[in-house]
Structure 1
């Protein structure tokens, strides 16, 4: 008879009857990952310190994921100050790639598929894959591996924040050519050039070769040549797919305190559709959404719910798009107070937000991205139009969030998509818990 030793009270975690970790080592790896140190680096240090040879790092990492999957982690994804329904959210993309994700292999879903996913079923299947690793020698023989597909690939939204266990992921609708052209048009050449400046020399050389551009010279020379080539549509598409992320990337919705409320691992290039999927799955739509393509988000989301457009009034602008308001906004002389951001309305409106009491919803540019737009009407979407929002946008918490996420890319991007998803959600959960503890300490003081 096979017997599986699983006595946690002894301070041990059994992975596969051959590799057994102490709980202290498991917790050490958890804290190490929170400090952006990969499991391979931690094990390498321990081997050097102990003067001993440990089992293969891949096995120890799988054992750690096995440990985390068996923990009773809540994944509540909410802020102690904003509650389950923040009135103001910041949305942005964390660009990353699933190393083993081949978009071309994704099958088109059936015609009757509506993009609804059962969030609990999906994440239970991801947990089952992590747990079953202790019973199968490799992923090739594991029948519980979760493969990327349009029909079974759900985001994560906290239980109290989402409407129900049925959430949206409509990435399969990005497939048609007409839709793809729409996504491309939302990213200007200037924004692509800004992204080029952030790339290392090796990436720029690879881009130059793929676009038929001379790949020798300094980094500045490479960027200059690519900028000139962007006028060509094919070069533009190549650079867009390489830099902006043809696959992978995390759509993130966070409150002004840097607490993550929603995570979505994109199979295809990020677009306003991904954030619309998340927001339309929320129980209460935020009153103010800060996003780098605010006009695209408002237009797309309103088109999805044409009978009751979420972004209103004025299609999500704080002021009516009159000539007078536009002229004042361009000169930065227009101010639109939203007092309900500071104090809830005495008489809540119908379908009003539980925190503010109003049913108004606005899509605005944050200060980092408001200069990217070329549409003069987007002057009415500047965040500095609203005096009450200035305290929100001054917060560095959201900047720190994405800086922290980038520090983990070097080890996350080498993982299989399902493992990448599992560990990212896990890392963000513990980061949220740490930030909430700090916020509580500040409030108590």
Structure 2
């Protein structure tokens, strides 16, 4: 009788009845990979340290991947802060993350293929390929092996973010020879990027590339590059040049929230184009309101051409304002400002077919500061992120670049793997990084709240965002309040507007607030509209709260009665302590840290 030992409770993981790894070793390898140390290097280090022969390096790698495939990972790919449907996303390509693949071996899909692939079945097959490796005998063929092909090649998107398990992948359309408007936009964009990469090559390498493409090899570097650029107008020659410069596959495209959490990842078989990001966005349940991409114009144009009846990027074709001369001039000079308050707070009156988090149906394709010069079209100055005060300086537009900077340290071992192994391990690495970032974010929130565990309850709302269920009567902790200029021009929140509406609807003599022993009536707050005649009780209430905030942070201040200040304060004070009113009810000390008037 065939018997297979598989009992993790004893701390062992059985790979193939010959190689058994301890769970501790599996976790050690996982953490090593997260710190950019390959499984092969771990294998070598352990063997040198213990002076004991280990299984072959390939078998050792498959044993670890077998462990990860049998581990219950949810691969949620969602941020605790932004939720399942982030209104702002950053998109970019990790062009150096490739796997070896012969493009000539990929045939076009059947005519009946509509571009939809069941992602759950595809990624389940990738996991089963890892699991079956431990069950096969020598010489057996793995029945779950997948080869790169257009009709069964799916991206990964979190189950709450995607509209359904069936995701869109129209990558085979990039091989079409007809230059439709959207294809021309794709070619223009990728040629620019490829030209930049060609500039970094040595002259000898460029000559070899020219020879492989049937282009003249004489002349200077500039002459060679000029010939190659002209040759790249032909799609076949472009693919050949791309393979020589970039590698076999087209890298992998990612969509992240500004917090750095990966939401979507797509492993490209061919050169990147806006089509790849459009495929992922069209697979989302709700397209983000703001898409930050280094080729924003191409993304908006391609998406609107593919769905002209819906026009995904509107208004102004995804620009922030109408492309008039005045707006373009103002954007170039830095004087144009377009406020989008629904980024911070959901619209009270929601638009039709709106994003559930913002309540807005507007969709913009913007470029960050470091890629503004990529476009020669003056109208693209209206895509600058600095134009929007809710985004400028507040959104990390380099989230993708920061992710790729870390992932580049893994390319030395990931790029040597087969396509399916490469994809399986990259998704696993990104998932663990997402978990670590979410865990760090959760710890920081719990620390900042400063509440005992019995008074707060952290939960996720309908959209997957982390919210605090308040069980205590007071949620604002005075010792956590810090001075910030950013709040000066900040609009009122929805709850604040509701409170103000209640105050305005009350009668003039109705009591609307109580601060310490000071009673505020409705008619007192009306004086806030005229700063020259503000009611003293309102100012005294503010001073009282400020004193409580200061004392909670171990800062001594003395709030002087506002009525006394108005009638007594001289125009110029040599030292505040020398001019304090002598009718104060509390003693005055020169050792106080600060005096607040």
TM-score by length of 2: 0.69
Change (3 A) 1:210 1:29: same
Deviations 1:332-366, CA, capped at 9 Å, x for gaps: 32111111111111121111112111010000112
Match of 2:230 in 1: 232
1:314, 1:321 within 8 Å by CA — same for their partners in 2? yes
Shift of 1:188: 4.8
Change (3 A) 1:184 1:32: same
Match of 2:24 in 1: 24
Change (3 A) 1:138 1:82: farther
* Residue 186 (str. 1) matches residue 189 (str. 2): yes
- The 3-state SS of whatever aligns with 2:110 is coil
Match of 1:160 in 2: 160
Deviations 1:385-417, CA, capped at 9 Å, x for gaps: 112111344465433211112111111111111
- The 3-state SS of whatever aligns with 1:13 is strand
1:109, 1:151 within 8 Å by CA — same for their partners in 2? yes
Change (3 A) 1:243 1:392: farther
- The 3-state SS of whatever aligns with 1:388 is coil
- The 3-state SS of whatever aligns with 2:373 is coil
Aligned length: 439
Match of 1:54 in 2: 54
Match of 2:171 in 1: 171
Deviations 1:250-306, CA, capped at 9 Å, x for gaps: 010000011000000011111101000000010111000011111111111111111
Match of 2:91 in 1: 91
Match of 2:266 in 1: 264
* Residue 122 (str. 1) matches residue 118 (str. 2): no
* Residue 425 (str. 1) matches residue 427 (str. 2): yes
Unaligned segments of structure 2, at least 5 residues: 449-597
Change (3 A) 1:54 1:204: farther
Change (3 A) 1:338 1:173: same
Distance 2:112 2:265 in 1: 26
Shift of 1:6: 0.6
2:98, 2:248 within 8 Å by CA — same for their partners in 1? no
Distance 1:79 1:358 in 2: 21
Change (3 A) 1:398 1:109: closer
1:139, 1:145 within 8 Å by CA — same for their partners in 2? no
2:186, 2:298 within 8 Å by CA — same for their partners in 1? no
Distance 2:108 2:416 in 1: 26
Distance 2:23 2:84 in 1: 32
Of the two, which has the highest radius of gyration? 2
Change (3 A) 1:254 1:360: same
Distance 1:244 1:336 in 2: 39
1:89, 1:254 within 8 Å by CA — same for their partners in 2? yes
Change (3 A) 1:339 1:33: same
Which residue among 344, 355, 369 is the counterpart of 2:371?
369
Shift of 1:307: 1.0
Match of 1:277 in 2: 279
Shift of 1:68: 0.5
Distance 1:79 1:435 in 2: 9
Match of 1:5 in 2: 5
1:98, 1:416 within 8 Å by CA — same for their partners in 2? no
Deviations 1:117-154, CA, capped at 9 Å, x for gaps: 11111111111111000122469721211111111111
Change (3 A) 1:436 1:139: farther
1:162, 1:281 within 8 Å by CA — same for their partners in 2? yes
Change (3 A) 1:241 1:379: farther
Shift of 1:34: 0.3
Shift of 1:203: 6.3
Match of 1:317 in 2: 319
Shift of 1:433: 0.5
- The 3-state SS of whatever aligns with 1:177 is coil
Distance 1:59 1:409 in 2: 20
- The 3-state SS of whatever aligns with 2:353 is coil
* Residue 415 (str. 1) matches residue 411 (str. 2): no
2:190, 2:271 within 8 Å by CA — same for their partners in 1? no
Shift of 1:100: 3.5
Distance 1:68 1:82 in 2: 27
Change (3 A) 1:68 1:139: farther
Distance 2:139 2:331 in 1: 57
Matches within 5 A, 1:282-321: 282-321=284-323
1:366, 1:393 within 8 Å by CA — same for their partners in 2? no
Distance 2:355 2:205 in 1: 45
Match of 1:336 in 2: 338
Deviations 1:195-245, CA, capped at 9 Å, x for gaps: 3466689966754664667799xxxx96x5654544532598354453356
1:256, 1:395 within 8 Å by CA — same for their partners in 2? yes
2:100, 2:249 within 8 Å by CA — same for their partners in 1? no
Please identify, of 93-102 and 431-440, the stretch whose mean Cα deviation from structure 2 is larger. 93-102
Distance 1:215 1:390 in 2: 48
1:88, 1:288 within 8 Å by CA — same for their partners in 2? yes
Match of 1:141 in 2: 141
Distance 1:214 1:41 in 2: 42
